[in-house]
Amino acid sequence: MPRKFLVRLAAAPVALSLVATPAMAEKADRLTTLNGLPADGVESALKSRGFKYIDSNTNSMGYTYAYWWDKDDGNCIRTETYRGTVETIVDASDADCHHSGGSNAAAAVGVVAGAAILGALLSHKSNHHDDGSHYSDAQDETRYENGYTAGLHNAPYHNKHDSSAYSAGYTAGVEQRNANLRHHSGRGGYTDHADFKDLEGARAAGGMSQLESRGFVQVDNFTSGNTRYSIQWRAASRQCVQVTIADGRFYSLDDIGSHPKCQSGSGSWSASSAGDPGTWYGRLVGAASDGADVQMSNNGFRQVDSFTQSGGGHGSLWYNSSSRQCIELTTSHGRVDGSTMVPRSRCR
C-alpha cells in the first residue's frame, strides 16, 4: 500500500480491535460493519479478507474513493472516506479495478480498436457518475469517457454528438482536474501567495482570524438562505477568495479570480476579468441583466437561487440539468459584472 494513500485516508493512526478472519471473498453488503471506522483500520481489515488496493481519487469536496480487488472471486468494491473515516463500502464494476468482466464500462474501452493489446483503461471511475454507477449503454459510457478525458486534461469542449453523456463526463473531468490541483494557487512564476484551502472545515470565527493573519481583508459578504458568503481580498498577491460558511464552519474556500470589490493592482476592477471571454457565458459580462437572463434560458439554464450583495449588487445561480453545469451571475447597476462556472453543489 503506497504511503500517500494512507496519508490521504487516515486522519491519524488509530488502534482498532478488528478480528482477523480467514481470507474469504466478501461482497460489500457483508462489509457494512466496517462503516464508520478509521481508514487505516479498514485498510488492514480489507487486506485480511483478501482484498488488494487498486487506486483512488479525491473529489473537490474532500471525499476519497478507493477501489479494492479480491482476485479469488473477481470482486471489486469501493470505499468512500471523509476526514479519515470510512463512510460507505459498495460493490463496484470490474472495470473500476482494471479488470474486464463483461460490463458496459469494459465494453466502452473495447470500442477502441486494439484496446485490449494496448492496455487501454477507463480514466474515470463509477464514483464520477452522479448516481455512482457506469452507464448501462456502452455508447453512452464511451461518450462520457471522452468528455471526462477532455475535461480532465483541459481540452476544448467538443460535443460533436450533442450527447448529454459527454456533457456530464466533461463536467466531472473538470471537477476532478480542479480537485487534483487543489493544492495549487493557480498562479505561476515566483509571486507570493497565501494558502487558504487548509481552512476548509474550520470554525468560522477561527477561520476568519486565520485569514486576517495571512493578509486577507473582507471586502464583501452576503447571505442566501442559511448560507453566508464572504469575499476576501489579499492585495499583496491579488488573491480574491470566496468563503462559503454553513453551520458555523467554513464549507469551502475558492479563489474566484476577480470580484467588483477585489481591487486590481491599479486600483480599478476590470469587468473583462470577471468571466472567461472564450465561453458564451463569459461574454455576458457587460450585458444588460435582463438580456443575460434570456441568454441563460436559451442555453438551457434555469435560475435556482438568488442573493443580494452588500453595496446593492445582486447575484443568481443558474443550473442546466442536461449538462449538469452551474453558473453564477453577479450584476451591478443593471449589468452583468461577473459570470463564472461554479461547482454543481452550489446549485443544489
Dihedral sign, Cα of residue 26, residue 31, residue 61, residue 163: positive
For 196, list phi and psi in degrees, rounded to 5.
-150, -20
Of the listed ranges 14-18, 20-24, 310-314, 316-320, the least confidently predicted one is: 14-18
Please state the rounded mean pLDDT for residues 102-127: 55
pLDDT at residue number 111: 43
**Residue 26: pLDDT band with limits 50, 70, 90:** low
Distances (CA, A) of 94 to 23, 54, 68, 70, 73: 20, 11, 10, 10, 11
- Evaluate if residue 275 carries a pLDDT over 60: no
Of the listed ranges 30-39, 97-106, 157-166, the least confidently predicted one is: 97-106
Please state the rounded mean pLDDT for residues 294-310: 84
Distances (CA, A) of 199 to 249, 295, 344: 9, 37, 21
Percentage of the chain exceeding pLDDT 90: 30
**Residue 69: pLDDT band with limits 50, 70, 90:** very high
Please state the rounded mean pLDDT for residues 48-69: 91
- Evaluate if residue 44 carries a pLDDT over 50: yes
- Evaluate if residue 1 carries a pLDDT over 50: no
**Residue 7: pLDDT band with limits 50, 70, 90:** very low
- Evaluate if residue 47 carries a pLDDT over 90: yes
**Residue 18: pLDDT band with limits 50, 70, 90:** very low
Sheet holding 302-308, edge to edge: 302-308, 314-320, 325-332, 335-342
pLDDT tens-digit map of 220-231? 888 888 888 899
C-alpha 132: how far from its chain's center? 14
pLDDT at residue number 267: 36
SS3 140: helix
Q: Enumerate residues 6+ apart whose C-beta is below 8 A from 103.
A: 93, 94, 95, 134
Under 8 Å between Cβ of 147 and 170: yes
pLDDT tens-digit map of 119-137? 346 789 999 999 999 999 9
Average model confidence (pLDDT) across the chain: 79
Q: Enumerate residues 6+ apart whose C-beta is below 8 A from 164.
A: 322, 323
The C-alpha atoms of residue 323 and residue 273 are separated, in whole angstroms, by 25
Q: Enumerate residues 6+ apart whose C-beta is below 8 A from 32.
A: 89
CB pairs under 8 A, 24+ apart, for 156-164?
A: 164/322, 164/323
The C-alpha atoms of residue 339 and residue 345 are separated, in whole angstroms, by 17
220, 286, 207: which is closest to 250 by C-alpha? 207
pLDDT tens-digit map of 143-191? 999 999 998 998 888 999 999 999 999 999 988 988 888 777 666 666 6
SS3 56: strand
Mutual orientation of helices 138-152 and 164-180 as an angle, nearest 10°?
Answer: 40
The C-alpha atoms of residue 187 and residue 180 are separated, in whole angstroms, by 15
Dihedral sign, Cα of residue 137, residue 142, residue 147, residue 153: positive
List the beta strands (DSSP E) in the chain: 52-58, 63-70, 75-82, 85-92, 217-224, 227-234, 239-246, 249-255, 302-308, 314-320, 325-332, 335-342
